[in-house]
Structure 1
Amino acid sequence: MFDFDNPWFRPLWRRILVTVVALGWGVFEIFAGDPLFAILFLALGGYAAYRLFVTFNPRENP
C-alpha cells in the first residue's frame, strides 16, 4: 500500500505529522457528520501509527 520504510520518514516529526493529520482529519469527519470518511481516515491514521512507530525500520540505502 504505502512504503512506510522509506528514508523520508526517518525524522520523528514527519512520522508524527503524518499520523496526526490522518487521525485529526478522521476526528474532523466525525464532527462533520460523515462516518464513511471518518472510518477511512481513522483506519489510515491507525495503520500509519502502527507502521511508523511500532514496526518502523528505515532502509539505510534506498
Structure 2
Amino acid sequence: MRLIDPHHPFYRPAWRRYLIVAAPFVWAGVEWSSGNTTWAFLFAAIGGYLAWHLVLNWRPDSKD
C-alpha cells in the first residue's frame, strides 16, 4: 500500500516537494524542544518517509 503517489502532477515542482518534506522535520524540532520525544520521533519518521519518496527516489516523468 502506497501512502503517497509521487507521480501525481502536484509533486512536479521541486520547491513543493522540498517544502512538504521539510514541514514534518520542522515540527519534529518543535516537539523535541518541548520535550515531547514520542511526537518528535513520529514526525521525523513521517519526514523520512516523505524524503525517501519525494526527494531520494524522485524520477521525473518523460514529459518533464
The TM-score bracket by the shorter chain reads 0.7 to 0.9
Letter paired with 2:29: V
In the other structure, the counterpart of 2:29 is 27
Q: 2:50 matched to 1:48?
A: yes
Moved more, 21-30 or 51-60: 51-60
Aligned residue-pair number: 60
What is the distance in 1 between the residues matched to 2:50 and 2:57? Answer: 10
Letter paired with 2:42: L
Unpaired runs of 5+ in structure 2?
none
Unpaired runs of 5+ in structure 1?
none
Q: Give the drift of 1:13.
A: 0.7
What is the distance in 2 between the residues matched to 1:59 and 1:3? Answer: 13
What is the aligned-residue RMSD (CA, Å)? 1.5
Q: Secondary structure of 2:44's match?
A: helix
Quote the sequence identity (%). 35
| Larger RCO (CA under 8 A, 6+ residues apart) | 1
